[in-house]
Amino acid sequence: MKGTIVNAAAVIIGSGLGLALKRGIPEKYQNTIMHGMALAVGVIGLQMAFKTQNMLVVILGLAAGAIIGEALNIDGFLNKIGAWLSTRLSSQDQAGPSNIGHGFVTASLVYCIGAMAVVGSIQDGLTGDTSTLYAKSLLDGITSVVFTSSMGIGVAFSSVSILVYQGLITLLAGFFSTVLSDSVIKELTATGGILIVGVSILMLEVKKIRLANLLPAIPAAAIIAYFWPM
């Protein structure tokens, strides 16, 4: 859990710096930086997606995840949390109530979906190796400065999502160490990569996607990969 705690702390510190710089970064620079970050996130997602060795597993995982996610309405749940934060904290952020929820949801998705979050948490749980999560902490800390400067204080609350999501994976990894083979991790990572491309699309405001409702695709792909005949 040490790696996850450091990761969450890095986001909080980065968010604090982002708030301090908020008034000093012109809007046009903020927008362009965000667009650049979105493109980089998209490339990272594609790199992860291309690691698949069985695209059928990824497709089936996405289909199953979509059904589960829509049934649970994860996107609606996250938005309700964002709305609650907005009403409670809007007076503390001049960017406006809507930006608090948007920052929380967007940052939570960016920080929690990806190879480093999943593989790093698994490494931490299986062997105690926190090097991957430390590297992710540095990246997330830098990104949170930019995110917070444009989306406000809601980004800081994504640290809670990091603690819950990565912490849960770390704990589960210890219980299911024999299940998480290399092939399972590759398909799990590839599925997460496709969702990362979706995050890029959201950041570029190209298309509105209920991306949170696809989150169950990651464990679904892992389960399908485990039972897929060799």
pLDDT tens, residue by residue, 145-181: 888 877 788 889 889 989 998 999 899 887 876 667 7
**What is the token pair recorded at 230?**
């060799």
Return the pLDDT at 59. Answer: 95
pLDDT of residue 163: 93
Q: Tell me, what's the pLDDT at 68?
A: 94
Whole-number pLDDT of residue 75: 82
Question: What residues in the chain have per-residue pLDDT under 70?
Answer: 23-25, 82, 85-99, 113-115, 177-179, 230
C-alpha 55/C-alpha 27 separation (Å) is 41
Q: Residue ranges per domain, the chain?
A: 2-227
Q: For residue 103, what are the CA distances in angstroms to 83, 146, 176, 209?
A: 11, 11, 33, 16
**What is the C-alpha separation between 215 and 210, in angstroms, rounded?**
10
Give me 163's structure tokens.
């603690």
pTM of structure: 0.72
Computed over its alpha carbons, how large is the radius of gyration of the chain?
17
pLDDT (0 to 100) of residue 95: 46
| Residue corresponding to tokens 């298309």 | 207
For residues 18 and 10, what is the distance between their CA atoms, to the nearest angstrom? 12
Q: What is the pLDDT of residues 2-13, one digit of tens each?
A: 899 999 999 999
